[in-house]
Structure 1
């Protein structure tokens, strides 16, 4: 199965300099343009047969444009929502400094989820998606944190691994799982934005 991992376009939170996470901000005009460029590239180079997507606005809008361009169905999945950052969602970075960061993987930010809970949520939905093996190529449109967890799962990295995969606006990662191998075609490609 070929898997495209696609991050949403620029959102209003990016220009407001606030914590996003579960805060539900729409795309900006720039973000919508990024999405159209990404969708044209995906249609021409590696169109998916189905799209799995988070239900938060910035992703649902990104996935909807892609689905319309490619002509494939979308399955919206709440389990693909970004890390639940609880009380920090929507707060400015300055305001958020009042709240201590969890020191341990099992600790939660007030009203949120722990890093272990987040990773296990993404492991579970990834397993569910992979079990839908009737597709040759799928796209998962999601958030930077979710894509990080998906890649950590793909590479069998432990939950304690402190390693970050950069994901730009509408960045595309292209991986493949066969019966014999796991293949990384590329990670975080934003070549479509330079056109």
Structure 2
């Protein structure tokens, strides 16, 4: 078996995703994934703590992009404007060439309650990270938490639209549209 071939992590990720889709998450083992790309199970575990991590790898970078978006936003911005900047910055995590991968990943998560729970925990952690960044920018409570939770909701709605089979817009464009809908929804009645 090939041991130190370049790109092993990406090959393992691609193989895992396909095997999860074909066989099911529970029916696929780390050994199955490694063997499918000519690697050992030990090599798999050098790259991923367990098979769930194949799907959730990059979570820290994803959150860091949101927090960076809040931290680097222009001074004096409202909580919603800071969240808009965070959404814009974090959309770089999902370039259009990642859409097919994200679509397949989401299908696998939706089919497995344990993975759904993990995804919800990831979103809760993201919301708390954004809220902390907002508080550090001087946004008081409960505004910081409300804005952070709203930002995560906007991301979730936009992401589901972005992975739709017939969607062609960028995630950033969809997020701007969804955030506009939220602003309309919360605007005072005339």
How does the TM-score come out when normalised to structure 2? 0.30
Which structure shows the bigger proportion of residues in helix conformation?
A: 2
Which structure shows the bigger proportion of residues in strand conformation?
A: 1
How does the TM-score come out when normalised to structure 1? 0.29
Which structure has the bigger radius of gyration? 2
Give the structure, 1 or 2, with the largest relative contact order (CA under 8 Å, sep 6 or more). Answer: 1
